[in-house]
Amino acid sequence: MVKACLLLYLLLTLSLHSFGEANDVWVETNIDKLKSSLLKNYDRFARPEDASVTTNLYISLTVIHMELHETKGILETHAWIKLKWTDNKLKWNISDYDNITHFHVSADEIWTPDLTVYNSAEAQIIDHFAKTNKIIYSNGDILWVPTAKFETYCNMDLKIWPFDEQKCEIKIGSWTYNSNQINLKMDMVTPIDAKSHYNNLEWEVLNGTAERHEKFYSCCPEPYGDVTFYLNFRRRSPMFKAIAIVPAAAIVFMTLTAFWLPPQAGEKLLLNGFACIMICILLMYFSQLLPILAASSPIIVTIYSHTLYLLCISFIISAIVINMSRNRKYSPIPTPIKAILLDGIIGKTFCRSQPNTIIGDNQAEELKKAPFEENDDIQIIQTNIRTKAQLIQNEWIHLASIIDRIAFVIYVIIFILMGFIHFI
């Protein structure tokens, strides 16, 4: 009996609760009435004007973050884009709807201009803008501020890398509507804000500008308008500067130092070889870091390439100088060469002190000219032969030293000219 009473009580409770819910009435708000009235017969795919009336569309851009992919030549921009236009189908009298001045709708509930990025690097035409809400005002004005991500081609100039400044553009316009249907205009207050972005570790944004253009295409007689946003930024990575400049200075000093080593020193070849290895490694690094098909080759790469050519010539000079000073020479230096490089102004300018000799200069000259007599002692003859050979070898060493000094001066002039030509 008790169980039956409990069961009856539960059934009555559930019945009363269900009856109460069935009699609850959903109350329609003023915004619901307004939205239902405006969007009842609204076609969100049709431009909300007559064919003869132009829709003025105002656009502005706020840059949030940007990344420049140098190897691909692509600028990736994260931004807020502000769009304003008037939809005459969405006007109302605020007094009829409890003084409601505006309300929000989702992105797809009303007409949206078919804007696209003309210089997009995306694989296909996609919707660049996020599906954020739109705001509708009582006078028909529409405000839409979606977030956006653009990947655009950027014609980079890497001539003075890593001290370069770049200028990239984002070109936005309607894909199907001409300027007589959608007149794209810049927001005159702030067409582009490039100072609100998050700091980029490699690039410093200098400024941003915007321009409006109109272009006629071969397909259509009407003009098509676009607004192009330009971003100017400067590279500020000290790491790249250290990688590019410090090794270049070290290689130049190593190349010049090799000419001041003694003519017999085999370390000349070691210095030049080590410098060549450094240049080859850096050039391979630059090939991975920088786009191969850039419009102009970076100056620093050109300098490294030319320095590699100079090092190859320095290798040849060092090999000649070492051979000249180490290998025993039995024939004197040809008279024209000796007159120009040893006894002339060149020899006196570049090498004032000759290598040490075992006898004086006057005695050496007499010994060279003196013939051997039959009655001379064999020991004296052998001594004289050795002395003559030593004198000849000393002259060749002297000539090798002068060649090194001349090469040093020429290379200094070449390096200075390279700096002036490329950086001034």
One domain, residues 211 and 246: no
- CATH number of the domain within which 199 lies: 2.70.170.10
Residue at 258: amino acid letter: A
One domain, residues 216 and 257: no
pLDDT score, position 22: 44
- Which residue, of 236, 251, 275, is where some domain finishes? 236
One domain, residues 255 and 278: yes
Residue at 408: amino acid letter: F
Q: Which residues contact 2 (CB under 8 A, 6 or more apart)?
A: none
> H/E/C letters for each residue in 57-89?
EEEEEEEEEEEEECCCCEEEEEEEEEEEEECHH
Location of structure tokens 């660049």: 128
The pair of structure tokens assigned to 124 is 């296909």
Query: What does the buried/exposed string (b/e) look like for 259-270 if buried means 16 or more CB atoms within 10 Å of the residue's CB?
Result: bebebebeebee
11 in any annotated domain: no
One domain, residues 230 and 259: no
One domain, residues 195 and 260: no
- Which residue, of 236, 268, 291, is where some domain finishes? 236
Residues 304 and 310: their CA atoms lie apart, in Å, by 10
Residues 290 and 296: their CA atoms lie apart, in Å, by 11
Beta bridge partners of 182: 55
Neighbours of 61 (CB within 10 A): 26
Residues 100 and 227: their CA atoms lie apart, in Å, by 34
Q: How many domains does the chain have?
A: 2
One domain, residues 298 and 352: yes
Residues 90 and 86: their CA atoms lie apart, in Å, by 9
- Which residue, of 203, 220, 236, is where some domain finishes? 236
59 in any annotated domain: yes
pLDDT score, position 142: 95
One domain, residues 206 and 249: no
315 in any annotated domain: yes
What dihedral angle (degrees, nearest 10) is formed by the CA atoms of 273, 279, 281, 283? -150
Q: Determine contact, residues 300/249, Cβ cutoff 8 Å.
A: no
9 in any annotated domain: no
One domain, residues 191 and 303: no
Q: What is the pLDDT along the chain (424 residues), one digit of tens a residue?
A: 545 554 555 555 555 455 444 444 556 788 888 888 888 888 999 898 888 889 999 999 999 888 888 878 899 999 999 999 999 999 999 988 888 999 999 988 999 999 999 998 886 666 788 889 999 999 999 999 999 999 999 888 888 888 888 899 999 999 889 999 999 998 877 888 877 667 777 888 888 899 999 988 887 888 999 999 999 988 887 787 788 888 888 899 999 999 988 888 888 999 999 999 999 999 888 888 777 655 567 888 888 999 999 999 999 999 988 888 887 766 666 666 666 566 555 655 655 454 444 344 444 454 445 454 554 455 554 555 556 666 777 777 878 888 888 899 999 999 999 888 766 6
8 in any annotated domain: no
275 in any annotated domain: yes
3 in any annotated domain: no
Q: Determine contact, residues 144/107, Cβ cutoff 8 Å.
A: yes
Q: Name the residue range of residue 293's domain.
A: 240-423
210 in any annotated domain: yes
**Helix 238-258 and helix 299-326: axis angle, to 10°?**
20
> H/E/C letters for each residue in the chain?
CHHHHHHHHHHHHHHHHHHHHHHCCCCCCHHHHHHHHHHCCCCCCCCCCCCCCCEEEEEEEEEEEEEEECCCCEEEEEEEEEEEEECHHHCCCHHHHCCCCEEEECCCCCCCCCEEECCECCCCCCCCECCCCEEEECCCEEEECCEEEEEEECCCCCCCCCCCEEEEEEEEEECCCCCCCEEEEECCCCCEECCCCCCCCCEEEEEEEEEEEEEECCCCCCEEEEEEEEEEEEECCHHHHHHHHHHHHHHHHHHHHHCCCCCCCCHHHHHHHHHHHHHHHHHHHHHHHCCCCCCCCCHHHHHHHHHHHHHHHHHHHHHHHHHHHHCCCCCCCCHHHHHHHHCCHHHHHHCCCCCCCCCCHHHHHHHHHCCCCCCCCHHHHHHHHHHHHHHHHHHHHHHHHHHHHHHHHHHHHHHHHHHHHHHC
One domain, residues 196 and 315: no
One domain, residues 294 and 385: yes
One domain, residues 68 and 135: yes
One domain, residues 346 and 416: yes
